[in-house]
Amino acid sequence: MRTRTSRSVVIGVDSSTQSTKAVAVDTATGELLAVGRAPHTVTGEGGARESDPEEWWTALTTAVRAAVRDAGVPAAAVTGIAVAGQQHGLVTLGADGRPLRPALLWNDTRSAPQASALAAGLGGLSGPKSWLERTGSVPVASMTAAKWQWLREHEPALAAAVTGVRLPHDYLTERLTGHAVTDPGDASGTGWYGKGGGSGSGDAYDPEILDLLALDPALLPAVAPSGATRVGTLTAAAAEALGLPRTVVVAAGTGDNMAAAVGLGLGGAGLLDHPVVSLGTSGTVFAATRTRPADPGLAGFAATDGTYLPLGCTLNCTLAVDRFAALLGLDREDAVPGGGAGVVVLPYLDGERTPDLPHAAGLVTGLRHTTDPRAILGAAYEGAAFTVLRALDGLLAACGLDLTDSAVRDRPLRLIGGGARGRTWTDTVRRLSGRPLIVPAAEELVALGAAALAGGAVTGEDPVALARGWGTGAGELLPPLARSTETWDRIAGVLTAASPGLLR
Task: Extract the runs of DSSP E, i.e. beta strands, from 102-213.
Answer: 103-104, 164-166, 181-182, 193-194, 204-205
The span from the CA of 369 to the CA of 170, in Å, is: 52
Rounded to 5°, the CA angle 282-182-188 comes to: 55
Q: CA 141 → CA 15, 54, 279, distances in Å?
A: 21, 24, 20
* pLDDT band of 410, cuts 50, 70, 90: confident
The span from the CA of 466 to the CA of 88, in Å, is: 27
Are 255 and 189 spatial neighbours (Cβ–Cβ below 8 Å)? yes
Tell which residue, 457, 28, 466, 82, has the closest CA to residue 263. 466
**pLDDT (tens digit per residue) in 78-119:** 999 999 999 999 999 999 999 999 999 998 999 999 999 999
φ and ψ at 402, to 5 degrees? -90, 115
| Sign of the torsion formed by the C-alpha atoms of 382, 383, 387 and 390 | positive
Taking residues 412-440, report their average pLDDT.
Answer: 93
pLDDT at 271 over 60: no
% of the chain beyond a pLDDT of 90: 73
Sequence-separated (6 or more) residues with CB below 8 Å from residue 479: 436
The span from the CA of 192 to the CA of 118, in Å, is: 11
Mind telling me the catalytic residues?
256
pLDDT of residue 12: 98
pLDDT of residue 167: 98
Binding site as annotated, residues for substrate? 87-88
Rounded to two decimals, the pTM is 0.86
Tell which residue, 450, 486, 427, has the closest CA to residue 21. 450
pLDDT of residue 502: 61
Q: CA 498 → CA 348, 378, 391, distances in Å?
A: 12, 20, 18
**pLDDT (tens digit per residue) in 355-376:** 888 888 999 999 999 999 999 9
Better-predicted residue by pLDDT, 34 or 121: 34
CA 221 to chain CA mean position, Å:
20
pLDDT of residue 6: 66
Sequence-separated (6 or more) residues with CB below 8 Å from residue 364: 343, 344, 345, 376, 379
> Which amino acid makes up residue 412?
P
The span from the CA of 499 to the CA of 482, in Å, is: 29
Q: CA 234 → CA 177, 189, 241, 291, 477, distances in Å?
A: 5, 26, 10, 36, 41
Element (H, E) at 308: strand 308-314
In the chain, what is the straight-line distance between the N-terminal and C-terminal CA atoms, in Å?
59
- Give the residues across from 205 on adjacent strands: 193
Better-predicted residue by pLDDT, 135 or 341: 135
What is residue 310's three-state secondary structure?
strand
**pLDDT (tens digit per residue) in 294-329:** 888 888 898 888 788 888 989 899 999 999 999 999
pLDDT at 200 over 80: no
Tell which residue, 249, 228, 246, 257, has the closest CA to residue 81. 249
pLDDT of residue 201: 41
> Which amino acid makes up residue 176?
L
pLDDT of residue 202: 57
Q: How many C-beta neighbours within 10 Å does residue 95 have?
A: 10
Report DSSP letters for 320-380, one per residue.
HHHHHHHHHT--TT-SPTT--TT-EEE--BTBBTTTTBTT---EEE---TT--HHHHHHHH
Are 275 and 411 spatial neighbours (Cβ–Cβ below 8 Å)? yes
Out of 33-42, 392-401, 465-474, which region has the weakest mean confidence (pLDDT)? 392-401
Average pLDDT, the chain: 91
pLDDT of residue 272: 42
pLDDT at 251 over 90: yes
pLDDT at 268 over 70: no
Taking residues 156-180, report their average pLDDT.
Answer: 98
pLDDT of residue 127: 83
Q: CA 230 → CA 41, 259, 260, 480, distances in Å?
A: 31, 16, 20, 43
% of the chain beyond a pLDDT of 70: 94
The span from the CA of 181 to the CA of 167, in Å, is: 10
Taking residues 374-383, report their average pLDDT.
Answer: 96
Better-predicted residue by pLDDT, 406 or 165: 165
Are 35 and 67 spatial neighbours (Cβ–Cβ below 8 Å)? yes
* pLDDT band of 269, cuts 50, 70, 90: very low
CA 99 to chain CA mean position, Å:
22
- Give the residues across from 477 on adjacent strands: 438
Are 448 and 220 spatial neighbours (Cβ–Cβ below 8 Å)? no
Binding site as annotated, residues? 87-88
pLDDT of residue 399: 81
